[in-house]
Structure formats: C-alpha cells, structure tokens
C-alpha cells in the first residue's frame, strides 16, 4: 500500500505546512511571504491530505466550508478597504500598535486585507483541488 508512506508524510507534514503558512502570512509585510503564498501552501497541505486519505474524507471534512471561506475572505478584504474611509479615503491603510507585555503587535488594515486574500486563495485553490480529484 503506497498510501501508507503518504499517510505518514501527511501526519508529519500537514501541521508543519499549516504552521509555515501562518508564519509566512504574518511576516509577509516585511519578509518574503504574504497572503497569496500562504494560501497556496495551505492548499498544498490539503492536496497532500487528498492524496493520502482520499478525496471523500477531505471533501467531507472541508467541502461545506470552502465557499463560505471564499465569501468571508472577500468580505474581510472589502471591509479592510472600506475602513480606510475613516483614515482619509478608500484603501488608506490604518495602523494600530498593540502592546501585550513584552510582545508588540502591529495591527493594520493592509494586514487584514492580506488575511482576506489568504482566505480567498486558499478557498479557491482547495475547492478546485477537491473538485478535480473526485474519484467517481
């Protein structure tokens, strides 16, 4: 059963890939990364799942959420752009600095916009992967 190796790989790689995607997503503004790349990596992680566990499992677990994820991603991106109206115009970036003890977080509308991009790319690519890998 060649799938056995893939399952092992899936066990190890999928969590790493998902974490890696998050890291890329959040550091994207200053270092290589960003929503688009992170979305593709998450899609790749789920592709690994499809190959190792079959498309039915993934479709069952993830299928119903994919279209809502695309919609929510678009909504977040649009809202981030609209929020800019309060800072001087459509798409003007707004920045807040959040201090949690020693940790300093930069919150911003470009950041949330990137999260929206991430969700759309992840949703779109994964829904194609799930759809095309259907074993009928």
Partner 1 sequence: MLLLCLLLLFIASPIAWLLRPHRTTKAGWFAALPPLAIFVWLLTQLSAIQNGQELIESYAWADALNLILRLRLDGLALFFGLIISGIGAAVALYTAHYLEKDEHQGFFYALLYAFMASMLGLVWSDNLMTLFVFWEGTSITSYLMVGYKHKSDAAQEGARQALIVTGSGGLAMLAGFIILAQAAGTYTISELLTQQNLIDLPIFPVALILILIGAFTKSAQFPFQFWLPGAMSAPTPASAYLHSATMVKAGIYLLARLHPAFSHSALWFWMLLTVGGITMLLGAISALRYYDLKKILAYATISQLGILVFLLAFEGEAAYGAVVVGILAHALYKGPLFMLAGIIEHATGTRDIRRLAGFWRTMPWTFVVALLSILSMAGIPPLFGFLAKETLLEALFHYAEHGGEYGSGGILGWILVGAAAVTGAFFVGYSFTLLYETFLRPKAEDEENSAQIHHAPSIGFVFAPLALAIIGTLIPFGIGPLGDTLLSAAATSIAGEEVKLYLKLWHGFNSVLITSLLAIAAGLLIFFLRNPIRKIWAIAPEALDGVRIYNRVYYGSYDLARWSTRHVQGGSLAAQASIVLMCAVAMLLFALTRINWATDLAIDWSVIPHFHELVIAILAIVAAVVTVQSKSRLNAIISIGVVGVTVTLFFVYFSAPDLALTQLLIETLTVVLLVLVFHKVPEDNNPPLPAITQTRNLVVSASVGLLGFMLVLISAGEPFEPRISEFFTLNSVPAAHGANIVNVILVDFRGIDTLAEITVLAIAALGGYALLRSVRLRKISDIEPVWDRDEIDNA
Nearest to 58 by CA among 116, 14, 110, 105: 14
Q: Are the C-beta atoms of residues 116 and 81 closer than 8 Å to each other?
A: no
- Regarding 43 and contact with partner 1 (CB under 8 A), the answer is yes
Alpha-carbon gap, residue 114 to 107, rounded angstroms: 12
Q: How many Å from the N-terminal Cα to the C-terminal Cα in the chain?
A: 21
Phi, psi (rounded to 5 degrees) for 105: -115, 135
Residue among 8 and 107 whose Cβ is closer to partner 1: 107
Residues between 110 and 129 that touch partner 1 (CB under 8 A): 110-111, 113-114, 116-117, 120-121, 123-125, 127-129
- Regarding 45 and contact with partner 1 (CB under 8 A), the answer is no
Tell me the DSSP string of 49-111.
Answer: HHHHH-HHHHHHHHHHHHHHHHHHHHHHHHHHHHHGGGGTSTT---EEEEEETTEEEEEEHHH
Among 1, 2, 4, 31, binds partner 1 (CB under 8 A): 31
Alpha-carbon gap, residue 93 to 110, rounded angstroms: 6
Binding mask 60-99 for partner 1 (x = CB under 8 A): -------x--xx-xx--xx--x---x--xxxx-x-x----
Residue among 62 and 73 whose Cβ is closer to partner 1: 73
CB of 57 to partner 1, least distance (A): 16
Binding-site ranges for partner 1 (CB under 8 A): 28-37, 40-41, 43-44, 47, 51, 67, 70-71, 73-74, 77-78, 81, 85, 88-91, 93, 95, 106, 108, 110-111, 113-114, 116-117, 120-121, 123-125, 127-129, 131-134
């Amino acid at each position: 059963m060649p799938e056995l190796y893939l399952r092992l790989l899936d066990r190890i790689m999928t969590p790493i890939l998902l974490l890696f995607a998050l890291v890329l997503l959040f550091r994207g503004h200053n270092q290589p990364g960003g929503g688009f790349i992170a979305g593709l990596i998450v899609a790749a992680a789920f592709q690994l799942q499809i190959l190792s566990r079959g498309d039915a499992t993934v479709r069952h677990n993830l299928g119903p959420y994919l279209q809502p994820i695309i919609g929510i991603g678009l909504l977040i991106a649009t809202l981030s752009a609209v929020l800019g109206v309060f800072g001087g115009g459509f798409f003007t970036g707004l920045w807040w600095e959040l201090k949690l003890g020693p940790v300093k977080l930069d919150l911003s509308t470009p950041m949330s916009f990137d999260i929206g991009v991430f969700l759309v790319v992840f949703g779109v690519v994964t829904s194609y992967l799930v759809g095309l890998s259907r074993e009928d």
